[in-house]
Amino acid sequence: MTLLIEWDAEDETPVDTLLAPEVAFHLKAIRALCVEFDVSSLEVFGSASVGPFDPVESDADFIVTFQEDDSRRGLDHFAHLVVFEDRLAEILDRPVDVTSATSFRNPYFARTVNRSRRLLFGTSPCIHRSPRTSR
């Protein structure tokens, strides 16, 4: 599989053409949502980033990191995450799963996610490493 990069003529940013078209088509709206919700990075992983993506059946999986100066804690943070997830699902017109970058506890899950994560917005935080996945 070859990674092809194209440039979005409107905002002059690279577009990863391996993304599922259903995600790539909405990048501008996704990035605007990230700005609105004080997101520092948003990554897609799984079938929406590396395939195979079924446009009828597949959901889209994301990892979000909110800005560090975000004062929301506990239930406020969770509510913010849920509203962000709902808005992202509306943009994509499909189910989405959004997880926080800080919630990776299972090393097997982390290893699987790390193989397919692609940055959509912001700067990518360090890939999660656990003692078992750091080799």
The domain 26-122: what is its CATH number? 3.30.460.10
Closest CA to 39 of 82, 81, 94, 95: 81
Supply the pLDDT for residue 105: 83
pLDDT in tens, 96-130: 999 987 777 888 888 889 989 999 999 765 554 44
Contact 77, 103 (CB under 8 A): no
Question: Quick one: pLDDT at residue 69?
Answer: 62
Q: Output the pLDDT for position 64.
A: 94
Domain boundaries in the chain?
A: 26-122
Of the spans 46-50, 88-92, 114-118, 123-127, which averages the highest pLDDT?
88-92
pLDDT band of residue 71 (cuts 50, 70, 90) is low
Most confident region among 20-24, 92-96, 122-126 by mean pLDDT: 92-96
Q: What is the average pLDDT across 26-49?
A: 95
52 pLDDT more than 60: yes
Helix, strand and coil percent figures for the chain, each rounded to 5 = 35, 25, 40
The rounded mean pLDDT for the chain is: 80
Largest CA distance in the chain: 43
